[in-house]
Amino acid sequence: MKSWVRWPRGDWRESFGLALTLITVTTSATAEGGAVKLGVLTDMSSLYADNGGQGSVMAAQMAVDDFKGKVLGRAVQIIAGDHQNKADIGSVIARRWLENESVEAILDVPNSAVALAVQGITRDRKKLFLATGAATSRLTGDECSLTGIHWTYDTYALSQGTTKAISRLGAKTWFFLSADYSLGSQLEADSRKVIDATGGKVVGAVKHPINTPDFSSFLLQAQSSKADVIALADAGGDFINAVKQAGEFGVTRGQKLAGLIVFIADIHGLGLQSAQGLMLSSAFY
């Protein structure tokens, strides 16, 4: 996959204004006037790196620079970590930051499974978690936290936007190709509710491992279903690979692909030829 660095999103500046104020009000600094440390926990090297990674770290630093590097007289310091899309690794980093390195808030965390683990840790330790990369609606549902802030998009909003709009265009039958972890499961579940409410029907579904290079068997199942729409409940590199291979197998000649969570970096990674005919909506930048 071609590497792209995401241009920092405008919502980072707004969210940091909120986060920095909350951090300063709620923090119990180890020393008066000590630096406010913010940890950007992200995917530096795998399928979500183009939509997070160094782009998220740069965006966080730009937002801090907008505040002249300080908030209420205290310096602000950005540190970063790579969770490698593994909840156990993300949890170890989060605990180390909060317990040993005086980090006051954890930010970004693309990967819903990692984000849910981090939310549990920050909830227990009464530290702030600003989720700008994770999508699962469970962050504000059954796993909600008084110290958790979910920003930009979630699976409920994405399903209400994309799935409902495509249903109104006349799509009646759907097949889900979903990532086999928290993001795919919740995005599919939220979208199924919309499809049921609009009179549509899900005729089949299959889950694929995260960061898989080969979608052939999954796409053949989707193609044989004859569904009007193949809904891609995955993201980043998985989404890009699925769309490219769907074109190679001729799936898009008879069925529509719907991207349920898509970023501009994904379109760059696909190229316009591969993205032709793709239906999608994207969160506000």
Tens digit of each residue's pLDDT (9 = 90 or more) over 64-76: 999 899 988 889 9
- R_g of the chain computed on alpha carbons: 20
**pLDDT tens digits for range 150-183:** 988 999 999 998 999 999 999 999 999 999 999 9
Q: Is residue 60 within 8 Å of residue 13, measured between CB atoms? A: no
Q: Which amino acid is at 146?
A: L
pTM of the model: 0.87
261: tokens are 């969570």
Which pLDDT value is given to residue 32?
Answer: 56
Calpha distance 109→122 (Å, rounded): 13
Which pLDDT value is given to residue 1?
Answer: 33
* Region 3-27 average pLDDT: 53
Share of the chain above pLDDT 70, in %: 88
> What are the structural domains of the chain?
10-150 (3.40.50.2300), 155-280 (3.40.50.2300)
* Cβ atoms within 10 Å, residue 247: 19
* Region 10-39 average pLDDT: 63
Which pLDDT value is given to residue 4?
Answer: 36
Q: Which of 143, 152, 153, 156 is nearest to 117 (CA)?
A: 143
